[in-house]
Amino acid sequence: MLRRKPIYSILLYGAVICLVMYLIAPFLWLIIMSFSAANDLTQKPLRWIPSRIDISSYKDLLTMGINSRGELFVNALRNSLTTAFSAVLISLFATVPAAWVLSRYPGKKSWVLTVAIFTFMLPPVAYALPLYRMLTRLGWLNNSLSLALVYCTIVLPFCVWLIKENIDSIPYELEESAILDGAGVAKRILLVVMPLLLPALGTVALLAMIMAWDEYFYALLFTSSKEAITLPVVIANLASGRQSNYNLIAAGGVIASTPPVLIGILFQRALIRGLVQGGVKE
C-alpha cells in the first residue's frame, strides 16, 4: 500500500479543518452572542469575546409571566414540539401504505409518485393561497394540528419516495410466504415489511421532524395567536422592532436550533443508513 506524502496529508487535514470551521463558526458565534451583554454586541470595534457571561437573555425567554415575552416564547416552544411530532406521526401513518401500494402495484400508478415529487420541488408560496382559503373555510387557522397537516404537504412526497425505494429492495418472496400462511395485506405490511423498514422509518421520522421544526413560511401565514404560533415566527418577531436585542435573538436561536443539532449528532448514522438502504437490492 502506497504511503501518502506528508504534503498531501497536510493539505487534506487542512481542508477538512477549514470546512469544519466554516460550518460550525456561525453556530459558535450564535452561542457567544447569546451569553454576551447587549453593550458588548453594539460596541465598535466589535467585542468578539464577552467581557462577562450574561444569562439574562435566557432568563427573559424562559421566565413565565402573564403576557410576558417568556410566556410567548415557552408557548411557541410547546407549539413547535406539538406540531413537529404531529407531523411525524401523520407522515409515518400515511407514508407506509402509500409507498407499499406504489412499490407492489406500480403499473399506471407510477405517475402519482412523479407528480408528488414535482409538488415537493415547488416553492411553498405556490400553495399559500389555496391552503389559506381551505383552512379559513374549515375554521382551522391558528391550530397546531392543522399546521401539522399543512407540513405534511412538504414532508410526504419525499417520505413516500424514500420508503418506496426501500420497499423495492425487499424481496416479494417474503410476502408470498406470508400469503401462503393466510396473511392479509395489513398483516403483511405490519409483520413482514415494517420490521425491515425500521432504519428507513427512523430516517423519515427524523427528517420530517426537522423539516416541520424549521418551517417558517406557513407558520407565519396560518398562525398568529400564542396558542399556535411556533418558534421560528417568534424569533423573527424579536428582530422586527425598532431596536433589536441581538443577545435575545441569539438566545432564542440557540434554544430553537438545539433539537435539530442534537438529532444530527446522535442519529447521523441512522440517517445515513436509512437514506442509502434503498439503493441496495436484495
Distance CA 282, CA 274 (A): 15
94: exposed, middle or buried (C-beta count within 10 Å: 0-12, 13-18, 19+)? middle
Cell 425567554, located at residue:
61
Question: Phi and psi dihedrals of 148, rounded to 5?
Answer: -65, -40
Query: Over 80: is that where the pLDDT of 110 sits?
Result: no
Distance CA 242, CA 8 (A): 52
Count CB neighbours of 19 within 10 A. Answer: 10
Write down the pLDDT at residue 1.
Answer: 45
Radius of gyration of the chain measured on its C-alpha atoms: 23
Question: pTM of the prediction?
Answer: 0.82
Residue type, 198: L
Stretch (H or E) spanning 252: helix 246-266
Query: Over 60: is that where the pLDDT of 279 sits?
Result: no
**Cα–chain center distance at 149:** 15
Q: What's the Cα-to-Cα distance from 269 to each of 126, 152, 194, rounded to whole Å? A: 34, 25, 20
Angle between helices 144-168 and 69-104 (to 10 degrees): 30
Write down the pLDDT at residue 233.
Answer: 93
Q: Supply the mean pLDDT for the chain.
A: 84
Write down the pLDDT at residue 238.
Answer: 83
231: exposed, middle or buried (C-beta count within 10 Å: 0-12, 13-18, 19+)? buried
CA-based angle 67:70:75, to the nearest 5? 85
Helix (H/G/I), strand (E/B), else coil: 55 = coil
At 31, list the grid cell. 452561542
Q: How confident is the model at residue 213 (pLDDT cuts 50, 70, 90)?
A: very high
As a whole number, mean pLDDT of residues 267-278 equals 70
Percentage of residues in the chain having pLDDT higher than 90:
24
Distance CA 99, CA 96 (A): 5
Residues with Cβ within 8 Å of 273's Cβ and at least 6 positions away in sequence, in order, are 199, 203
At 34, list the grid cell. 447569546
Structural domains of the chain, ranges and CATH numbers in brackets: 57-277 (1.10.3720.10)
